[in-house]
């Protein structure tokens, strides 16, 4: 069964690479022109720790824009994704951008990465819409800890568990809970005809399986695998890309809940250090 979920999600993500490369949201032209694809949040909170020679492992890297943005900042990066097309695209971009020397890309799902990759890293990084594709955060946390040097930093910027709770028909006057906070291993099946980065696209592979995770379900296994909490931050806004009708962009382009612009958490960041 798990293989069926993985197969459906992989077909969707393989196809998404082709759709996303040309999308406005991913802004490949901007990246090629030298811009970072990272947001102020990641740059502000993790940026100071990423410099010349920092070794960084990016889990679930899609086609590598964020990975390569860290490489541009001087890091020696390894990007990992389960999509072969994502990895091929990432390698092509690394060559184009003159970053191939300091960027390695590897096709692997998260759980089997320790069988395919050696070494320990100064930083393990993951972000935005990664965790819903993982059913087992115990194993994920073991992988994160496995690849961190003692004293190394784990950083994640993600959509808040609360952002996945609200019913599709929620309105400012009626924000109704419509989805589970606790998933207990069984994913939700979605059949979405629209792509989050390119609403005009008509993808062929529309069925995906996704897992919501509570904050404790994310943080607790990391604690038990020897990581110490440095910070948990929560924000009433999130980056573009969540296709919910009850969200609207603010002046800076971040999404907020209509009628609750400062009240409701839509994203969080977590920084942790592996004990020495």
Partner 1 sequence: MSDVTDPIPPEARAANLELWNAWTRIHEHAPGYHTEAFKAGATALKPVELEELGPYVREGTTLLHLQCHFGLDTLSWARRGARVVGLDLSDEAVALARRLAGETGLADRAEFICSDLYAADRRLEGREFDVVFVNWGAIEWLPDLDGWARIVARHLRPGGVFYLAEVHPFAYLLSEDAPEGELRVEDRYFPTPDEPDVQPVTGSYADPNADTEGLIAYGWAHSFAEILGSMVGAGLVLERFREHPYSPAPLWSWMREDAGHLFWLPDAKNGQRHDQPFSYTLLATRPDH
**Cβ nearer to partner 1, comparing 3 with 184:** 184
- Exactly one of 15, 143, 265, 274 binds partner 1 (CB under 8 A); that residue is 265
**Tokens 């440095």 label which residue?**
230
Q: Which residue, among 190, 221, 219, has the nearest Cα to 206 in the 3D structure?
A: 190
Give yes or no for residue 181 binding partner 1 (CB under 8 A): yes
DSSP class of residue 131 equals G
Least gap, CB of 236 to partner 1 (angstroms):
6
Which stretch in 27-35, 47-55, 101-109, 216-224 sits in contact with partner 1 by CB under 8 A? 216-224
Which stretch in 63-71, 119-127, 151-159, 181-189 sits in contact with partner 1 by CB under 8 A? 181-189
- SS3 at position 226: coil
Give yes or no for residue 189 binding partner 1 (CB under 8 A): no
**Cβ nearer to partner 1, comparing 25 with 216:** 216
Q: Which residue, among 233, 159, 155, 157, has the nearest Cα to 196 in the 3D structure?
A: 159
Least gap, CB of 144 to partner 1 (angstroms):
16
Pattern of binders to partner 1 over 149-178, x per CB under 8 A?
Answer: -------------x---x-------xxxx-
Q: How far apart are CA 179 and CA 182, in angstroms?
A: 9
Phi first, then psi: give them for residue 127, nearest 5 degrees.
-160, 160
Least gap, CB of 261 to partner 1 (angstroms):
11
Contacts of 129 by beta carbon, 8 Å cutoff, 6+ apart: 158, 159, 241
Q: How far apart are CA 2 and CA 10, in angstroms?
A: 12
CB atoms within 10 A of CB 177: 11
Give yes or no for residue 29 binding partner 1 (CB under 8 A): no
Tell the burial category of 74 from Cβ atoms under 10 Å away from its Cβ (0-12, 13-18, 19+): middle
**Cβ nearer to partner 1, comparing 87 with 145:** 145
By DSSP bridging, strand 247-249 and strand 188-191 are: unpaired
Least gap, CB of 256 to partner 1 (angstroms):
12
**Cβ nearer to partner 1, comparing 64 with 265:** 265
Cα pseudo-dihedral 247, 252, 253, 258, rounded to 10: 10
Which stretch in 55-63, 84-92, 146-154, 255-263 sits in contact with partner 1 by CB under 8 A? 255-263
Q: How far apart are the first and last CA of the chain?
A: 39
Considering only residues 62 to 101 of the shown chain, the ones binding partner 1 according to CB under 8 A are none
Considering only residues 217 to 246 of the shown chain, the ones binding partner 1 according to CB under 8 A are 217, 219-220, 223-224, 228-234, 236
- Greatest C-alpha distance within the chain: 53
Least gap, CB of 257 to partner 1 (angstroms):
9
By DSSP bridging, strand 55-59 and strand 121-127 are: parallel
Least gap, CB of 119 to partner 1 (angstroms):
27
Which residues bind to partner 1, rule: CB under 8 A?
A: 162, 166, 174-177, 180-184, 214-217, 219-220, 223-224, 228-234, 236, 260, 262-265, 268
């Amino acid at each position: 069964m798990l293989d069926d979920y993985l197969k459906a999600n992989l077909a969707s993500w393989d196809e998404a690479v082709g759709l996303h490369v040309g999308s406005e949201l991913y802004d490949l032209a901007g990246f090629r022109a030298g811009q970072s694809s990272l947001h102020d949040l990641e740059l502000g909170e993790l940026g100071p720790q990423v410099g010349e020679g920092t070794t960084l492992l990016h889990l679930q890297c899609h086609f590598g824009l964020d990975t390569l943005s860290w490489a541009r900042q001087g890091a020696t990066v390894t990007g990992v994704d389960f999509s072969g097309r994502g990895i091929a695209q990432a390698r092509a971009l690394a060559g184009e951008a003159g970053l191939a020397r300091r960027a390695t890309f590897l096709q692997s799902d998260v759980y089997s990465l320790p069988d395919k990759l050696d070494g320990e890293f100064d930083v393990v990084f993951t972000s935005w819409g990664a965790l819903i594709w993982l059913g087992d955060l115990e194993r994920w946390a073991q992988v994160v800890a496995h690849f961190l040097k003692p004293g190394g930093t784990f950083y994640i910027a993600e959509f808040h568990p609360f952002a996945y709770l609200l019913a599709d028909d929620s309105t400012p006057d009626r924000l109704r809970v419509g989805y589970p906070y606790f998933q207990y291993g069984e994913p939700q099946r979605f059949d979405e005809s629209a792509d989050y980065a390119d609403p005009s696209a008509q993808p062929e592979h529309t069925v995906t399986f996704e897992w919501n995770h509570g904050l404790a379900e994310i943080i607790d296994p990391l604690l038990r695998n020897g990581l110490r909490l440095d910070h948990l931050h929560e924000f009433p806004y999130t980056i573009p890309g969540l296709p919910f009708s009850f969200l609207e962009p603010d002046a800076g382009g971040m999404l907020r809940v209509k009628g609750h612009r400062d009240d409701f958490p839509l994203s969080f960041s977590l920084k942790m250090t592996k004990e020495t």
